[in-house]
Amino acid sequence: MNQNSDQASKAPPFSGPRSAPIRHIGEAGIFLFRILARLRFSPRQWAEVMRQTYFVGIRSLVIIMTGGLFVGLVLALQTYDVLTDFGATEAVGTIVGKSLYRELGPVLAALLFAGRAGTSITAEIGLMKATEQLDALDLMAIDPIERIVLPRLVAAVISLPILTLLFDMLAILGSYLFAVHWMGLEQGIYWSNMQSHVSLYKEFFPGLMKTVVFGLVCGLTAVYYGYHARPTGEGVGIATTQTVIISSILVLILDFALSALML
């Protein structure tokens, strides 16, 4: 008995704050496989995924499209200004296209997505946990991971690439607007320069690949922190903040890693 309590007073291994980041990665990985094991591809699950795509994707459209338009405008403004010094203003389309497809589009869209959709997922799931709705589902023999968590994760993976494409499109439109309509660049020169220097296979598709990974990372971070939030108002608040911080950092780190791999 005495020996037993002695063992209990000792902290179990790997529970300290220093091992916390590694522990979180491990837990999130296990959580991901628990979610993926629930993939059924049943019509009912797809219907729920579609519903969540609405909340995750379409509700983020406004911020993504506004962001894209102004990123395109400012990108064209800055490069046009510098290129004038070198008499190479026709390269503005090329620079906008390359920087957008490679880095700016995927990363900025993912950051905006984490702030807009990731937080709402975390807050929603966290609140469900705090109000014991997840336990209620469990009692009714409805798996909360299958019913609540999985559709949101899949919706994030589907939504982010589409949102990034729309972000890119609005950014191209913005730079076109600035360079062609306001600065008087010949529109044929704008497009042909872009077409002759931006590669579909080396720049456009790798950028799209990135966004799928970013969608998975942002979605997983959001559902993980929501599902593991402390069931109090404060706990949900902390979880929401953590989602933004962690997914932003992960997106930026992964972006470097993926770029290095693909180049």
Partner 1 sequence: MRTSHTVEFTSGLFMALGLAALVFLAFQSTDAGGVLREGSYRISARFGNIGDLKPRAPVSVGGVTVGSVESIELDGDSFEAVVTMKISTRYDALPDDTSASIFTKGVLGDQYVSLEPGGSPDVLADGDSLFITQSALVLENLISKYLFDSEEEEDSE
DSSP string, 21-34: HHHHHHHHHHHHHH
Q: How far is the CB of 168 from partner 1 (least distance, A)?
A: 6
Q: Which of 195, 232, 233, 234 binds partner 1 (CB under 8 A)?
A: 195
- Contact (CB, 8 A) for 149 and 48: no
Residue 75 touching partner 1 (CB under 8 A)? no
**Subset of 219-258 contacting partner 1 (CB under 8 A):** none
Q: Tell me, rounded to whole angstroms, the distance of Cα 240 from its chain centroid.
A: 14
Half-sphere exposure of 170 (CA within 13 A, CB side): 20
CB of 61 to partner 1, least distance (A): 8
Measure the CA–CA gap between 44 and 93, rounded to whole angstroms. Answer: 45
> H-type helices in 198-232, by residue range?
205-227
Taking the C-alpha atoms of residue 27 and residue 224, their distance in angstroms, rounded to an integer, is 9
Closest approach of partner 1 to the CB of residue 200, in Å: 4
Among 199, 233, 234, 257, binds partner 1 (CB under 8 A): 199
Nearer to partner 1, 198 or 250 (CB): 198
One of 28, 77, 162, 177 touching partner 1 (CB under 8 A): 162
Among 156, 158, 185, 223, binds partner 1 (CB under 8 A): 158
Rounded (5°) CA angle 240-219-167: 100
191 binding partner 1? (CB under 8 A): yes
Per-residue contact string for residues 77-116; x = within reach of partner 1 by CB under 8 A = ----------------x---x---x---------------
Should residue 47 be labelled a site residue for partner 1 when binding is judged by CB under 8 A? yes
Residue type, 201: Y
- The structure tokens 């994707």 sit at 57
State the Cα–Cα distance between residues 224 and 32, nearest whole angstrom: 9
**Long-range interactions of 24-28: CB distance < 8 A, separation 24+:** 27/224, 27/228, 28/220, 28/221, 28/224
How many positions of this chain bind partner 1 (CB under 8 A)? 33
Q: Is 203 in the site for partner 1 (CB under 8 A)?
A: yes
Provide the binding-site residues for partner 1, judged by CB under 8 A: 47, 50-51, 53-54, 57-58, 61, 93, 97, 101, 158-159, 161-163, 165-166, 168-169, 172, 191-192, 194-200, 203-204, 208
